[in-house]
């Protein structure tokens, strides 16, 4: 269909508008993080003399490197544990028909959607009972509440799409179920596993409520908490330059990873919601 030039113009205007709204805030964050001293308050779009002084100050004022490491450990741990357990469950839920499968799927979805704050006191007791209070282990354990159901749900959709003939042939050859899952399905599912892990990782990386509640000492702090706690002499003089530098550091790796695996991410996200 041939489009009117005005329509094409309107389309590109709309596209430009959406792009500016999406990208400007982060662009301005980067630019603010590179501004030095009083230049920060000038609202110019780009600093005249870009400097990394805010980044240096961020790591001087606090062990921000340790916080980053803590976040990597917590998110990585939660994702690995979820994947290990979820692959087995996803195979059963996706490829074997058994009584109660539908109910199980709905329960798992329910767990991922219910408000985490609703079980906070019960979790507090559990975490303290296991001796994990103020320990990164508490966060790995509690993050499973959302990473595990999410991982199962998305992997089930991907498992369903694998060809039936492959499974039949393997079973005919006398392959056991673990050989089938880990030797035959896993290699085929690698892109799906990568996307699912990345999404779960982002969820755990951003987790705030549990980290705020179950850890208290600086040694166990994760980056979202660290950023929320960066403060100056008084609440009226927040060190915005440092906060912006911290924001850039924790966000750039995520954005790069997301853009790198765009295609898989989009299919992972939509597999979790639309087709379910």
Partner 1 sequence: MTSQTLTAAPPVRAPSVQSSLQRSRQRMAWLLVAPALLVLLAIAGWPLLRTIWFSLTDAQLGDLTQMQFVGLDNYIGENGVLRDAEWWSAVANTLQFSVISVTLETVLGLSVALLLNTPSRARTLLRAAVLVPWAIPTIVSAKMWSWMLNDQYGVINVMLQGLGLIDTPLAFIADPDLSFFTIILVDVWKTTPFMALLMLAALQMVPTDCYEAARVDGVPRWRVFTHITLPLILPAVLVAMVFRALDALRVFDLIYVMTSNSRLTKSMSVYVREQLVDFQQVGFGSASATVLFLIIVLFTVAYMAFTRRRMQGV
| Binding to partner 1 in span 228-267, by CB under 8 A | 228, 240, 243-244, 247, 250-251, 254-255, 258-259, 262, 265-266
Which listed range, 51-59, 60-68, 105-113, 187-195, lies at the site for partner 1 (CB under 8 A)? 105-113
User: Stretches 51-59, 61-69, 72-80, 97-105: which one binds partner 1 (CB under 8 A)?
Assistant: 97-105
Q: Which is nearer to partner 1, 130 or 190 (CB)?
A: 130
Closest CA to 66 of 217, 269, 235, 251: 217
Q: Which of these segments, 11-19, 48-56, 60-68, 188-196, binds partner 1 (CB under 8 A)? A: 11-19
- Does residue 77 touch partner 1 according to CB under 8 A? no
Contact 222, 65 (CB under 8 A): no
Q: Which is nearer to partner 1, 232 or 276 (CB)?
A: 276
Nearer of residues 110 and 232 to partner 1, judged by Cβ:
110
Nearer to partner 1, 8 or 60 (CB): 8
Least distance (Å) from partner 1 to the CB of residue 1?
6
Q: State yes or no: residue 175 binds partner 1 (CB under 8 A).
A: no
d(CA 85, CA 211): 23
Stretch that binds partner 1, among 61-69, 72-80, 170-178, 186-194 (CB under 8 A): 170-178
Look at the block and give the residue holding tokens 């009226």.
236
CA 23/CA 28 separation, integer angstroms: 9
Phi first, then psi: give them for residue 100, nearest 5 degrees.
90, 0
In the set 85, 175, 184, 194, which binds partner 1 (CB under 8 A)?
A: 85
SS3 content of the chain, % helix, strand, coil (to 5): 80, 0, 20
Q: How far is the CB of 187 from partner 1 (least distance, A)?
A: 18
| 6 forms part of the interface with partner 1 (CB under 8 A) | no
Is 206 a binding residue for partner 1 by CB under 8 A? The answer is yes
Among residues 37, 275, 72, 67, the alpha carbon closest in space to that of 154 is found at 275
How far lies 27's CA from each of 13, 68, 151, in Å? 20, 22, 32
Sign of CA dihedral 202, 203, 204, 205: positive
Both tokens of 257, joined, read 């990873």
Q: Identify which of residues 25 and 218 has a Cβ nearer to partner 1 in the complex.
A: 25
Angle, helices 240-260 vs 53-61, to 10°: value is: 100
26 binds partner 1 (CB under 8 A): yes
DSSP 3: P
Residues sharing a CB contact under 8 Å with residue 170, sequence separation 6 or more, in sequence order: 179, 180, 184
Contact between 79 and partner 1 (CB under 8 A)?
no
Residue 78 within binding range of partner 1, rule CB under 8 A: no
The answer to whether residue 92 forms part of the interface with partner 1 (CB under 8 A) is yes
- Cβ atoms of 126 and 64 closer than 8 Å: no
Which of positions 122-151 make contact with partner 1 (CB under 8 A)?
122-126, 128, 141-142, 144-145, 148-149
User: Would you say 73 or 202 has its CB closer to partner 1?
Assistant: 202
């Amino acid at each position: 269909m041939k489009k009117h030039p005005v329509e094409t113009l309107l389309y590109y205007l709309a596209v430009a508008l959406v792009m500016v709204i999406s990208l400007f805030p982060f662009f301005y964050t980067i630019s603010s993080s590179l501004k030095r001293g009083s230049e920060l308050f000038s609202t110019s779009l780009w600093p005249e003399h870009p400097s990394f002084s805010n980044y240096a100050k961020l790591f001087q004022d606090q062990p921000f490197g340790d916080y980053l490491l803590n976040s990597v450990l917590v998110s990585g741990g939660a994702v690995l544990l979820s994947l290990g357990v979820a692959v087995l469950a996803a195979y059963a839920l996706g490829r074997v028909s058994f009584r109660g499968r539908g109910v199980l799927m709905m329960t798992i979805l329910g767990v991922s959607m219910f408000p985490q704050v609703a079980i906070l006191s019960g979790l507090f007791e559990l975490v303290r009972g296991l001796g994990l209070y103020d320990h990164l282990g508490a966060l790995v354990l509690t993050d499973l509440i959302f990473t595990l159901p999410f991982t199962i749900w998305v992997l089930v959709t991907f498992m369903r799409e694998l060809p039936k003939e492959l499974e039949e042939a393997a079973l005919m050859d006398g392959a056991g179920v673990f050989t089938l899952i880990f030797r035959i399905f896993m290699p085929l599912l690698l892109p799906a596993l990568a996307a699912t892990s990345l999404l779960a990782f982002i969820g755990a990386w951003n987790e705030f409520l549990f980290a705020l509640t179950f850890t208290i000492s600086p040694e166990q702090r994760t980056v979202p908490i660290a950023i929320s706690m960066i403060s100056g002499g008084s609440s009226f003089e927040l060190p915005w330059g440092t906060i912006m530098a911290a924001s850039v550091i924790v966000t750039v790796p995520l954005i790069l990873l997301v853009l790198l695996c765009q295609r898989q991410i989009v299919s992972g996200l939509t597999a979790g919601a639309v087709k379910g």
